[in-house]
Structure 1
Amino acid sequence: MKGKVTEIGINKKVVPARIREARVSRGYSLADLSELLGVTSQAISQYELGNSAPSMVVLMKMVDILRFPLNFFLKPKENINPNYVDSAVYFRSMKSTPKKLKEAYKYRVHWADEIHHYLKKYIDFPPIDIPQFDDFNEIDFVLIEELALKLRSYWGIPKVPIDNMVELLQDKGFIICRLVLGNKKVDAFSQYYNNVPYIILGSDKSAVRSRFDLAHELGHLILHSHIDQESIVKKEILDKIEDEADCFAGAFLLPSNSFSQEVMSTSLEHFVFLKRRWKVSISAMIKRCERLNLLTDSQIRYLNAQMTKKQYWRNEPLDDAIAFEQPYLFKQAFELLIDNDIVTSDEILNELGYNKEEIDSLCFIPKDLLERKRKTKKLTLKHDTN
């Protein structure tokens, strides 16, 4: 019967959409999971459509194989606002990213949104503060330079290096997560989801390259929210928007009205000095100089040759010296709830329905944070014993 679901005690039912979510997020095809569960692909498809229900034995196998708590499969998908149109998911290095991997990682945005939705019941997060620029259909590099400067002006950023990109964007309502992506084909990705801008960063890059990833994803969210998911997979469109996002990142981090005045030498030592000040990689600064015509073609070739000679393309000076900028909003929110005895860590885990390691990773929180137990109140002696 259509819509049939497995009963788990009183008023507890498996949510069919959660079965597909668990499977896809782990990178399994129907055939993959079929082999692991010992049921047919058609049976799993019917579970996901809600046309039939897995037995308790099969369900418990799913819990074990897909590494989700039982409560995850019982959790309704209830925080989707039909009035919001979600943007495409923008993957850095998307050209070489396998489709199965992209589909798996997309759910990390959904999970971040569910965690955000849960925490908002108790915590006031910074409001979203992104300017509405005039509609633009044709994007060129002149427009990108203009928009980057306008955004800096709107946010009150002076003509100096941005000290902390994570802090800046979180203060403007962005939700930033950092994951050990474990795959060199994915650097970062972003999406407007439920009208909230989400950026997921990898944890395996230098601090300056991670800052550039943040600015790149900001560029996508500012410039490309009108592009749908079907269009973004077309090579000519993908190549174009990736170049535009890179251009925006350079213009935002290294504004033309100030950075250009500081480029006074073609020595790599000078660019190391600029890297310490602007917290942008030498390779990105060379590209920016080329874009702004600050150096001649021969000077650019010389710098690129020096980068190759010194093997700086992968590991630059100061890569280990400049500190990572870590997301902290979710960490602060969980600490407020637990330290003030609003909810316990066990209640948080039960309500969210993800395994603890998943939450630790996605929210970039210490491993012991969701292990904290409510302090037992000690008995005290009465002052008056008469």
Structure 2
Amino acid sequence: MFNPQRLSIARERRAMSKKGVAEKVGVTPNTIHRYEAGEIAPSDESVERLAAALDFPVSFFCGADIDQPRRDNASFRGLASKSARIMDAALASGAMAYLFDDWVSQKYGRGEPDLPDFGQGQNIAPATAAKLLRQQWRLGDKPIENMVHLLEAKGIRVFSLAENTKDVDAFSVWRDDTPYIFLNRFKSAERSRFDAAHELAHLCLHKHGGSAAEFKNSPIEKEAQAFAGAFLMPESDLRAVVTSTIYSVEDLLPYKKRWRVAAVALAYRLLEIQLIPESRSNSLYVEMSRRGWLKNEPHGIAREQSHIWQQVMDDLRQQGVTKADIARETGVPAPELEALLFGLANMLTIEGSGERTAPRKVDLRLVK
């Protein structure tokens, strides 16, 4: 049976309007509207044209409703610059992630998330929340080696975003009691780490917050920024390590390597805890902008990769599972898998011999 909701998700995933789809399919925009509203069902031939226009398999359009992140329960970093179409494309990517994550959860053990709720009117300051979370996770004040690995070890599902949503820095969402973070893998590695900490703030500070639209130009974004800075660069560690005066942008480079953050984020954090005056912070920012560091700064770090999805892909490969197998069983097209899994799905062949071995006993709860 044709499912109109799946047509809406496929169209949003491609960031296309109903008019745009109609032109490709050769029908009127009103026809696409009626398809999605469930008022009429397309013929088999029309479904094939829809599938070709949207680059989804025909089988995707037949099946049960798909769970999908919504604008009213997702937080987008820097929402002010995002159009509704860009947000909807990212949220539709989230629907693909849900399908794949449910499939994985049927095959592998998944632990319960270890994430406190600092919301519900507790009025906990962002820096305090960051310190409390570090205490709960027994991190001390040491620099965090890999944010993606840390989040995964605490039961947070971490996915990457596809290139056609590269204007979205990151977004996060609670799906019932399971937290998800989606990271843009086309930004710098330092920026991605900060985005991960920013979204972590939304998950534990703003679980009971309002709709995504309410995040625009609101204190909520400032709270997430403050949390991210304090979580990645604890004040006590900064004060213990930064013992010499910061005069120039070159003076920031050894310290940015320690905390694995962008120089601009480090300079802002030093200003925040009053280790440098505002005038010095402003001059550093101007100099970094002049040198182009705001887009591409020297001494970049290696991009963080998922450990969970590396384990899963390695196990599936040894079983003889192909991308075509996963696409058929989940309904997620192979290119979407590659986009969501940090490119790790490329470990799998597209097609295989058809012979599959029994799965190994891989327990994702044991990943640290």
What TM bracket, shorter-length normalisation? 0.7 to 0.9
**Native 8 Å contact 1:178 1:327 kept in 2:** no
CA contact (8 A) 2:158 2:182 kept: yes
Amino acid at match of 1:189: F
Alignment check: 8 A CA contact 1:24 1:104 kept? yes
Structure 2 partner of 1:46: 34
Distance 1:62 1:161, change over 3 A: same
Percent identity between matched residues is 32
Alignment-mate amino acid for residue 95 of structure 2: H
Query: Is contact 1:208-1:280 (8 Å) kept?
Result: yes
Residue type at the aligned position of 2:91: K
The 2-side partners of 1:171 and 1:372 are apart by 32
Q: Is contact 1:87–1:227 with CA below 8 Å preserved after alignment?
A: no
Aligned equivalent of 2:16: 28
Shift of 1:234: 4.1
Query: Structure 2, unaligned stretches of length 5 or more?
Result: 357-368
> Structure 1 residue 363 and structure 2 residue 363: aligned?
no
Q: CA deviation at 1:258?
A: 1.5
In structure 2, how many angstroms separate the alpha carbons of the residues matched to 1:368 and 1:138?
A: 46
**2:264 aligns with one of 268, 275, 283:** 283
**Larger deviation, residues 109-118 vs 175-184:** 175-184
2:284 corresponds to: 303
TM-score (norm 1): 0.84
Of 246-255 and 22-31, the range deviating more from structure 2 = 22-31
- Once superposed, what is the RMSD of the aligned Cα atoms? 2.5
Quick check: 1:113–1:193 contact (8 Å CA) kept in 2?
A: no
1: CA distance, partners of 2:317 / 2:181 = 26
1:90 aligns with 2:75: yes
Distance in 1 of aligned mates of 2:355 and 2:292: 57
Structure 2 CA distance, aligned partners of 1:310 and 1:371? 43
Offset at 1:207? 1.2
> Which residue pairs with 1:7 in the alignment?
none
Cα distance, 1:114 vs structure 2: 1.1
Does residue 332 of structure 1 match 2:317? no
- CA gap 1:308/1:127 in 2 versus in 1, 3 angstroms: same
214, 227, 252: which is aligned to 2:231?
252
For residues 82-136 of structure 1, the C-alpha deviation after alignment (integer angstroms, 9 at most, x for no partner) is xx99962211221011111111211111111110101111111343111233632
Give the CA deviation at 1:367.
Answer: 2.2
Distance in 2, matches of 1:64 and 1:89, equals: 30
Aligned to 1:175: 157
Counterpart of 2:255 in 1: which secondary structure? Answer: helix
Is 1:315 aligned with 2:296? yes
Distance 1:25 1:165 in 2: 27
Corresponding position of 1:132: 117
2-structure distance, mates of 1:261, 1:271 = 15
Q: Is the 8 A contact 2:170 2:181 kept in 1?
A: yes
Deviation at 1:246, TM superposition (A): 0.9
Contact kept in structure 1, 2:322 and 2:348, CA below 8 Å:
no
Unaligned runs of 5+ in 1: 1-12, 378-386
Q: Counterpart of 2:228 in 1: which secondary structure? A: helix
Partner of 2:177: 195
Aligned length in residues: 353
Partner of 2:207: 225
